[in-house]
Structure formats: C-alpha cells, structure tokens
C-alpha cells in the first residue's frame, strides 16, 4: 500500500515510490515556427470551401425552386388539356383579334404620321434650298461689291495722288507768281 505521507514520501512496508526525475528541457516552451504562407493557404482554402458551400446551397435552392415551378406548370398544362380546345381557345382567339386590331390602328396612325412627316421634310428641304440660293446670291453680291470697292479705291487713290500733285504745282506756280510780282514791282 501507500504510506500516509503521500506521493514521494517514505512509506511503511514495501518499497517506496521512487522520486521522479524531471528533465527541465521538457518544461521549456517549444519554439516551432509556422510558415506564414502555409497559414495563408489554409485560410484561402477555408474561404474557398465557404464559397463553394454557399454556391452549392444556392444551386440546391434553385433546383428546389425550379422543381416547384415545374410542378405548377405541369398542373396548369393538365388543366388546359382537360378543358379541351373549346374553352380557352376561344378566349385566345378573342385576345389575339383584339391585339391584331390594336396593331392595325397603330399602323394606320404611324402611316398617317409618316405622310405628315414626309410633307414636313419636303417643306424643310425646300426652305433649305431657298436659303442656300439666297446665301449664294449674297456671296456673289458681296464679291461684286468687294471688287467694285477695290476699283473705286484705286480710282480714289489715283484721284488723291493727282490732287496732291496738282496742289503741289499750284503751290509752286503761286510761289513763282509771287516771286515774279516781287521782281516786277
């Protein structure tokens, strides 16, 4: 048995518990360096798994929804087949006739608008032609006026030069007359 003194103490009768040898190096913390890329890869894998799980759940939901839609459409189809061609077919004929009449009215309206717009287009094209003709006439008038201006300016310049020359001659003759008066007086 065990003695009264507890673990590691002397006991009465029989060999005692031997003292435990402790390796102090085992008590030191182990410095295991983890490669940060490994941790990053693990995190990426976790995120990918989450994403794939979400996509899978979404696909499952879509499949369930489509199965429900399929059941609804199958039920509607069965009901339509049971009613036969007489009931809903007549309603469809009426709906299509109304739709066709509506489209015909729209076509007539569009054709009427087209005629009106074509008439307006012709009027506008005539206005453009008229203004183009007036513009060309104005350009011709302006060119003619500019040419006349150049000719008149030459005539005016020539007349001015003649006037200056004549004034110079008058001045010279006046000076000569005055000079001759002074001499003969």
Mean pLDDT for the chain? Answer: 83
Query: Residue 132: is its pLDDT beyond 90?
Result: yes
Write down how long the chain is.
185
Q: What is the mean pLDDT of residues 32-53?
A: 81
Question: Is there a contact between 3 and 16 (Cβ–Cβ < 8 Å)?
Answer: yes
Q: How confident is the model at residue 164 (pLDDT cuts 50, 70, 90)?
A: very high
Give helix 36-83 / helix 87-184 axis angle, nearest 10°: 120
CA distance 108 to 100: 12
Residue 81: per-residue pLDDT:
76
Residue 24 has pLDDT above 90, yes or no: no
| Residue 100 C-beta-side C-alpha neighbours within 13 Å | 6
Q: 89-93, 154-158, 160-164, 168-172 — which is least confidently predicted?
A: 89-93
Is residue 13 pLDDT above 80, yes or no?
Answer: no
Place of tokens 């060999």: 15
pLDDT in the model for residue 90: 65
Q: Please determine, for residue 34, whether its predicted confidence score (pLDDT) is greater than 90.
A: no
User: In this predicted model, which residue has the larger pLDDT, 85 or 53?
Assistant: 53
pLDDT over threshold 80, residue 18? no
Three-state secondary-structure class, residue 84 = coil
> Per the structure block, which two tokens stand in for 104?
């015909």
Asked whether the predicted pLDDT for residue 86 surpasses 90, the reply is: no
CA 134, CA 128: separation in Å to the nearest integer? 10
């Amino acid at each position: 048995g065990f003695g009264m003194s507890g673990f590691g103490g002397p006991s009465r009768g029989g060999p005692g518990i031997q003292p435990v040898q402790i390796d102090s190096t085992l008590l030191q913390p182990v410095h295991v360096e983890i490669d940060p890329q490994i941790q990053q890869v693990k995190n990426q894998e976790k995120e990918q798994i989450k994403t794939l799980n979400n996509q899978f759940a979404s696909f499952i939901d879509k499949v369930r929804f489509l199965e429900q839609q399929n059941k609804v459409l199958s039920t509607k189809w069965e009901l339509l087949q049971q009613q036969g061609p007489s009931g809903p077919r007549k309603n469809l004929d009426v709906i299509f006739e109304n739709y066709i009449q509506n489209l015909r009215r729209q076509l007539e309206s569009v054709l009427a608008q087209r005629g009106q717009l074509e008439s307006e287009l012709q009027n506008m094209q005539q206005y453009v032609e008229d203004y183009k003709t007036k513009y060309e006439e104005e350009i011709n008038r302006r060119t003619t006026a500019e040419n006349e201006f150049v000719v008149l300016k030459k005539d005016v310049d020539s007349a001015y030069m003649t006037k200056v020359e004549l004034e110079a001659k008058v001045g010279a003759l006046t000076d000569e007359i005055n000079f001759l008066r002074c001499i003969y007086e």
